Amino acid sequence: MKIFDMHTHCFPDALAPKALPHLAEISKSPYYGSGTYSDLCEKVLSAGGSGAMLLHIATKPSQMTSVNNFAAACQHGNFYSFGSVFPTAENAVEELHRIKELGLKGVKLHPDYQFFFVNEPAVFPVYETAAELRLPITFHAGRDPYSPDTVHCTPEMLAEISARFPTLKIIAAHMGGMEMPDEVEKHLLGCENVYFDTAFATRTLDPDRCGSLIRRHGIEKVFFATDFPWSTIEKEMKLLKGCGFSGEELEMICHKNAERVFGISLV
């Protein structure tokens, strides 16, 4: 079976040796590999993966150009990238147009590292433009160790955004909300334009809970993902395989949904 990992991270070679230990210190998480692009590709392929989506994050307005240029340089073979905008930057909407021109597949927003709440009107122009340009947005959803006391993207807020922007494709990372499965159940399951990725689901969910959330949300709207280098294909696949899905259902989650939604075909 082909496996496409819908949520991975890497850094430019010169930054990786500092960036990864720094983030690990903040999140108190172990990590796997060196954080570079070549290491990511090698780890995905050696774990039996076919390819991956690389999610990049601009943590200040001045980073947008370099982050998106790096994202574009990472697109090769079965490896694709999302770009990023700093959503409250003056030129965020302009940069979305450049993301589209660069051929990037979507936009990653991380409200904890970008200091905004997903339902604050100041960032609505970004959602409007992304919807117009048909750029899906992956949101880091739920808790994050970087901002332990304030959740900037709750399942309830995402449900509000999904209703307000019905043509925007929303990917709620971490099964709709890291460490918030009760809220996901209450607010987000079944929302039409909301997709989930399974990134780091092992952190919060057991196979029964994970399988039930996926079934009730809709198997055609869930993407297999790891959050590499914070988790691995081996660990996250073990959880997914324990959920009791049929072979065809696993094919959908592991690669067919991503191929359909992003118009790619894995080679």
Report the interface residues with Zn ion, using CB under 5 A. Answer: 227
| Min CB(199)–Zn ion separation in Å | 6
The most distant pair of C-alpha atoms in the chain lies apart, rounded to whole Å, by 47
Q: Which is nearer to Zn ion, 52 or 189 (CB)?
A: 52
In the complex with Zn ion, the residue whose CB is nearer, 129 or 225, is 225
DSSP single-letter state for residue 256: I
Q: How far does Cα 182 stand from its chain's mean position?
A: 20
Compute the least distance from the CB of residue 108 to Zn ion, in Å: 8
5/227 with CB nearer Zn ion = 227
Nearest CB to Zn ion, comparing residues 183 and 227? 227
User: Residue written as tokens 């790096």?
Assistant: 70
Q: How far apart are CA 22 and CA 31, in angstroms?
A: 11
Helix (H) or strand (E) holding 109: strand 107-109
Residue facing Zn ion at closest CB distance: 227
Nearest residue (CB) to Zn ion, 95 versus 227: 227
Residue closer to Zn ion by CB (options 227, 249) is 227
| Minimal distance, residue 27 CB to Zn ion, in Å | 10
> 5-40 burial by CB neighbour count: b if 16+ within 10 A, else e?
bbbbbbbbeeebeeebeebeeeeeeebbbbbbbebb
Q: How far apart are CA 14 and CA 36, in angstroms?
A: 9
Which residues face 119 on adjacent strands? none
User: Which C-beta is closer to Zn ion: that of 30 or that of 121?
Assistant: 30
Closest CB 227 distance from Zn ion, rounded Å? 4
CB of 236 to Zn ion, least distance (A): 12
Nearest distance from C-beta of residue 9 to Zn ion, angstroms: 6
Q: How far is the CB of 174 from Zn ion (least distance, A)?
A: 8
Beta strands in 120-210 (DSSP E): 137-139, 170-172, 194-197
Are the C-beta atoms of 7 and 225 separated by less than 8 Å? yes
Alpha carbons 28 and 32: distance in angstroms, whole number? 13
